[in-house]
Amino acid sequence: MSPSSLLLLLALPLVAALALPLLPEGPSLRVRSLAALATASQLVVALLAWRLPPADLQLAWLPKLGLELDLGLDGLSLPLVLLTALLSTMAILSAPVDQSRPRLFYSLLLATNVGVVGAFLARNALLFVLAFELVLIPTTLLVAIWGRDRRAGAAIRFLLYGAVSGLSLLAAVLAFGWLNANGLDFSFAGLAQADLPPGAQAWILALLLLAFGLKLPIVPLHGWQPFTYSQAPTPVVMLLGGVVSKLGAYGLLRFGVGFLPDTWAAWSPWIAAAGAVSAVYGALNAIAQSDMRRLMAYSSLGHMGLLVLALAAATPLALQGAVAQILAHGLIVALLFACVGLIERRTGTTAIAELSGLLNPLRGLPVTAAMLLLALMAAAGIPGLAAFPAELLVFEGSWTAFPRATLVCLVASGLTAVYAVRLFNRVGFGRLDNARADWQPTRWAERLPALALTLLVIGFGLWPGALVGWSEAETGALALRAQPFLAATATTPITVAAAAPRTIALILAAPSPLAVPSI
Amino acid sequence: MSPAIAPPPAPVQAPLIPPSEHPWAEVIHRLEAGGSMLPDTPENLMQIIGIYKAYAVPMDFYWRDLLYIAERVFLNPLPAFKYFPSQAYLDRPNAYAGDESQLRIWRGGEKAHPELLAFMARGETVAMPKLLHHLWHDRINMEFAEACMQAMLWHQGMGGRFNAYLESDSYRANADRAIRAFFKGNPVMLGLYKLFPEMFMEQVKQMSYYANLGLFWEVMAPVFFEMSDLYDEGGFQGVPDAMNFLVNGIFAVAGRPIYHHVYVGDECIEVIPKSEGFTWLYEAALPYVEAVFYRTAPFRGTKSYNAQAGQVPTDQSDFHYGILYADVFPVGSAGIPPTLLMQDMLHFLPPYLEELYAQHRRGEEDQLIQLGITFQRSMYNVTSAVIQALRCALLYPLDDTDPEHLLANRRFFEAQMDRFLRPEARLGAIQSQDYR
């Protein structure tokens, strides 16, 4: 494909975002269809880019500042662009048919998409910062305008945390460029070769950890997450949990592991510890929650802990697991919130104590509840669903580097099953209250996004090669530590199927047609 | 034209007794005014009459098959075809309805109801052999009727002399005669009878309860059919009218016999002869209401109860799992007797009930629940009729002017309402039309 196709990935949602507010007032459904068409087209272009990889695109923008429109796709960014396009489409389709102020709403959703995709496509750190910051504006407005009762507080908190995150990132990137002994160069290629004094590296990594730790988030930088997730409208929280938070993981992998490998390796025990603390803290808090949205926010926090552990370990398997975890968690958390959104739309509540018997075939929401059950099982890492191969890779890959932290994360992963069972036992089973259960069943059109995500969660669980094959080459190159059982094949190109123990090899034995050709 | 003169205001008559302070005082005052536990609204009237009609059609099958099992299948050790009553039982005239009845009180009843016969021929699928309809569960579900019979058998001793008679020597002698006649020429079964006589006696007692319930429903089916017909003709003005029709029906047949005959070939063996004097009201209706409406059993599958946690009373008389207490709402699983009844009634809903259900909640999708709740309403009305009938039989008229008599009635009603003080009672729910 032509490099301009990379521009198309941004232009499609951008043009739609700019055009939607100019449309004459009309039915909300029409606006939603146009927005979904834009992101679906973006998904098609991304799929074409996977099969026909385009070369990098470099256009001078503000060369004096080192800002260039430098775009590219590799095994790290391509799956995330696909995920963003997919989840954006699903989020748009998850919005209610009678969405209020639809032109502005969908325009802001598309602007969020542009920011996230722009950050994943960026091959220039300043461009990345620009896109990273761009995400904050529409998401804050979406929470502030269409959130629940306490939306103002949630939006302000989200904005403040996001601003600190953005400023930290900007400071880190500027320091990267200015302190580089090789001269001012914000391109990823230049940053990978940057010559920085050790003290500066430590400061930059601290800023990066603050910036991306706030975005992920990890403990103790998570203050915005439960509140925002509980207040944001469903499509927004699907995007926040599914892709926006993944900017943090991607940033840590790209900037931390990729550009500051020595400092990252030196700090990794502390980073792994932070991951383990996040995993346990998130799981324990999830158990204590009385609201489904907050429960899922803390669940997400726990899963981000696993991700951070894998990034800290930085073995080939762990990094591959991290990318797989980003994808799997993105799908699962979007599915969870899609189901909770449907339940909330019908029942008017997400309070666990007020819900019960949703599996009731006659008066409940059996299809939605069944999808919620499957999503909870997936979040708990049940084999056969998408999170299992990802978490298995994370644990296998991290064990050799940080056995204690891995063990703690394994326990936290076990706690996932506790809150999943507790939640579903309360809302799925039991009797329906006749006075409350006066709602209509969800329609197939409403269920479509959740259903598509459900199929993907099952599909990636049954065919994990499709989940973990994307980033094999890139994660192998980024790895900071050898995998002990990979030593025998260390001289050959690292492939998970060849390197992994027997169990992993069995899972990954089939060559994945999704394996990304080197770009 | 002379100006209209307003009539003088009627003198306000002070009530003879003070208002009740019972938590269900409103319902008690309604009962004292001749009403029902179910509020008198046009929709309630429509719901209960419609469901009586839908209940009467399967009931017309229940009573015929119950008698067929009690009288013909009897102790057949492999009763695979007990739900296939012979044509004679389907053509059997109702004893209380129609021109061929022994005591004509109600209309129709010359043979099984035409809607029932049409359904049996085709079911809800297509016309196919009876056995296939049966295996596909495209049929009247006798399991519900058997569950009611088992509730009566299991609770026992709920008034009347019927249960005590089952322990008497004369009953055992009659049962012994029936067993020997039924297994005549069958040395295996007779040998087993010799080895385990009590087991066979228990089976005969169960058959007697089959007959008891069959004879009870033989009355109720034409009552409900006629109520439906009268409603269609504009005959009922309110819920109390429907209740009073039931009360009058109860008194009309209160003294009719309850018996158990077994037919072996052409021979009729009277296991419980009519001459024993068991009556419809005391030996069938009251035990049925107590066993089925109030008590039944905790393990029906609609809700789990934990006996170890004390959720099941040790005394059977404390059981309150019947339709007046049942959580109709979460039903829908297969194989549960009350659900099977609702499935049976679903086939025969009158159009006006289908229209009503279509307007509320999920319309056609949750008709089973809506009709289940209607059924609960209707059974509160039937129970009201039984309470009023008992009050008629045992106490004083509602318009009695003696305060002592009215207080006696009050105490009776309050004692009845005490049974609905339990939190699981649905009496409060049915007071609202929103309970659907």
Which tens digits make up the pLDDT trace of B18-29? Answer: 999 999 999 999
Two tokens, residue A456 = 């993907």
Distance CA A321, CA A387 (A): 10
Mind listing the pLDDT tens digit for each residue in A432-487? 888 788 888 999 999 999 999 999 999 999 999 888 888 888 888 899 887 776 54
Two tokens, residue A225 = 């997450």
Mind listing the pLDDT tens digit for each residue in A24-43? 988 889 999 999 999 999 99
pLDDT of residue B12: 58
Q: For testing the chain B interface, which of A356, A358, A360, A362 should be mutated: the one with the most B CBs within 10 Å? A: A362
pLDDT of residue A487: 47
Span B109-123, average pLDDT: 94
pLDDT of residue A67: 81
Residue B50 has φ and ψ, to the nearest 5°, of: -60, -40
Burial of A509 (0-12, 13-18, 19+ CB in 10 A): exposed
pLDDT of residue B287: 95
Residue partners of B153: CB distance under 8 A and separation at least 6: B205, B206, B209
pLDDT of residue A488: 47
Greatest Cα-to-Cα distance within chain A, rounded to the nearest angstrom: 72
Measured at the alpha carbon of residue A235, what is the angle toward residues A157 and A242, in degrees to the nearest 5?
75
pLDDT of residue A435: 79
Q: Which residues pair with A60 in a beta bridge?
A: A68
pLDDT of residue A74: 92
Task: Answer yes or no: is pLDDT of B386 > 50.
Answer: yes
- The verdict on a CB contact (< 8 Å) between B429 and A432 is no
pLDDT of residue B297: 85
Q: For testing the chain A interface, which of B304, B369, B371 should be mutated: the one with the most A CBs within 10 Å? A: B369
Give the residue from chain A lying closest to B328, CA to CA: A434
pLDDT of residue A169: 97
pLDDT of residue A66: 74
Chain A residues with CB under 8 Å of B331 CB are 362
Chain B residues with CB under 8 Å of A440 CB are 362
Two tokens, residue A243 = 């892709």
- A361 min Cα distance to partner chain B (Å): 7
Q: Which residue has the higher pLDDT, A228 or B12?
A: A228
Whether the bond into A217 is cis, omega within 30 of 0: yes
Chain A residues with CB under 8 Å of B435 CB are 434
Distance CA A175, CA A411 (A): 39
Q: Which of A357, A363, A431 sits opposite B362 (nearest CB)?
A: A363
8 A C-beta contact, residue B89 and residue B65: yes
Give the residue from chain B lying closest to A437, CA to CA: B361
Task: Answer yes or no: is pLDDT of B315 > 50.
Answer: yes
pLDDT of residue A279: 97
pLDDT of residue B432: 95
Task: Answer yes or no: is pLDDT of A489 > 80.
Answer: no
Distance CA A428, CA A430 (A): 7
Q: For testing the chain A interface, which of B329, B366, B369 should be mutated: the one with the most A CBs within 10 Å? A: B329
3-state SS track over chain B: CCCCCCCCCCCCCCCCCCCCCCCCHHHHHHHHCCCCCCCCCHHHHHHHHHHHHHHHHHHHHHHHHHHHHHHHHCCCCCCCCCCCCCHHHHCCCCCCECCCCCCCCECCCCCCCHHHHHHHHHCCCCCCCHHHHHHCCCCCCHHHHHHHHHHHHHHCCCCCCHHHHCCCHHHHHHHHHHHHHHCCCCHHHHHHHHHCHHHHHHHHHHHHHHHHHHHHHHHHHHHHHHHHHHHHCCCCCCHHHHHHHHHHHHHHHCCCECCEEEEECCEEEEEECHHHCCEHHHHHHHHHHHHHHHHCCCCCCCCCCCCCCCCCCCCHHHCCCCCCCCCCCCCCCCCCHHHHHHHHHHCCCCHHHHHHHHHCCCHHHHHHHHHHHHHHHHHHHHHHHHHHHHHHHHCCCCCCCCHHHHHHHHHHHHHHHHCCCCCCCCHHHHCCCCCC
8 A C-beta contact, residue A40 and residue A80: no
Q: Which of A360, A440, A441 sits opposite B330 (nearest CB)?
A: A360
Span A500-515, average pLDDT: 39
What SS3 state is found at A122? strand
- The verdict on a CB contact (< 8 Å) between B434 and A360 is no
Distance CA A394, CA A311 (A): 9
pLDDT of residue A513: 37
Split at pLDDT 50, 70, 90, the class of B13 is low
Task: Answer yes or no: is pLDDT of B48 > 50.
Answer: yes
pLDDT of residue A486: 55
Count, in order, helices (H) and strands (E) of chain A. 23, 2
Residue partners of B417: CB distance under 8 A and separation at least 6: B22, B23, B24, B27, B28, B427
Split at pLDDT 50, 70, 90, the class of B329 is low
Q: Which of B303, B369, B434 sits opposite A363 (nearest CB)?
A: B369
Span B179-201, average pLDDT: 97
Start-to-end C-alpha separation, chain B: 54
Chain B residues with CB under 8 Å of A435 CB are 434
Mind listing the pLDDT tens digit for each residue in A177-211? 899 898 888 999 999 998 999 899 999 999 999 99
Span A274-302, average pLDDT: 97
Mind listing the pLDDT tens digit for each residue in B245-286? 999 999 999 999 999 999 999 999 999 999 999 999 999 999
| Partner B contacted by A438 (CB < 8 A) | yes
8 A C-beta contact, residue A193 and residue A258: no
Q: Which residue has the higher pLDDT, A393 or B309?
A: A393
**Least confident among A162-171, A477-486, B66-75:** A477-486
DSSP A368-404: HHHHHHHHHHHHTT-TTSTHHHHHHHHHHHHHTT-HH
- B434 min Cα distance to partner chain A (Å): 8
DSSP state of A123: -
Split at pLDDT 50, 70, 90, the class of B5 is low
pLDDT of residue A503: 38
Q: Which residues pair with A351 in a beta bridge?
A: A291
Task: Answer yes or no: is pLDDT of A376 > 60.
Answer: yes
Q: Is the dihedral of CA A38, A42, A43, A45 positive or negative?
A: positive
Mean pLDDT across chain B, nearest whole number? Answer: 92
- Token pair 């909770």 is at which residue? A340
Chain A residues with CB under 8 Å of B365 CB are 362, 441
- B196 min Cα distance to partner chain A (Å): 44
Of the candidates B126, B367, B435, B379, which has an alpha carbon nearest to the alpha carbon of residue B242?
Answer: B379
- A128 min Cα distance to partner chain B (Å): 51
Whether the bond into B330 is cis, omega within 30 of 0: no
Task: Answer yes or no: is pLDDT of A497 > 90.
Answer: no
Give the residue from chain B lying closest to A360, CA to CA: B330
Chain A residues with CB under 8 Å of B429 CB are 434
**Chain B residues contacting A via beta carbons under 8 Å:** 303, 327, 329-332, 361-362, 365-366, 368-369, 373, 429, 434-436
Q: For testing the chain A interface, which of B328, B342, B366 should be mutated: the one with the most A CBs within 10 Å? A: B366
Split at pLDDT 50, 70, 90, the class of B4 is very low
Split at pLDDT 50, 70, 90, the class of B9 is low
- Give the DSSP H or E segment for A7: helix A4-19
Burial of A506 (0-12, 13-18, 19+ CB in 10 A): exposed
pLDDT of residue A467: 87
| Partner B contacted by A361 (CB < 8 A) | yes
- Token pair 């009373």 is at which residue? B313
Residue partners of B367: CB distance under 8 A and separation at least 6: B346, B349, B354, B357
**Least confident among A225-234, A410-419, B14-23:** B14-23
Split at pLDDT 50, 70, 90, the class of A501 is very low
pLDDT of residue B54: 97
**ipTM for the predicted complex:** 0.74
Chain B residues with CB under 8 Å of A437 CB are 329
Q: Is the dihedral of CA A385, A93, A132, A219 positive or negative?
A: negative
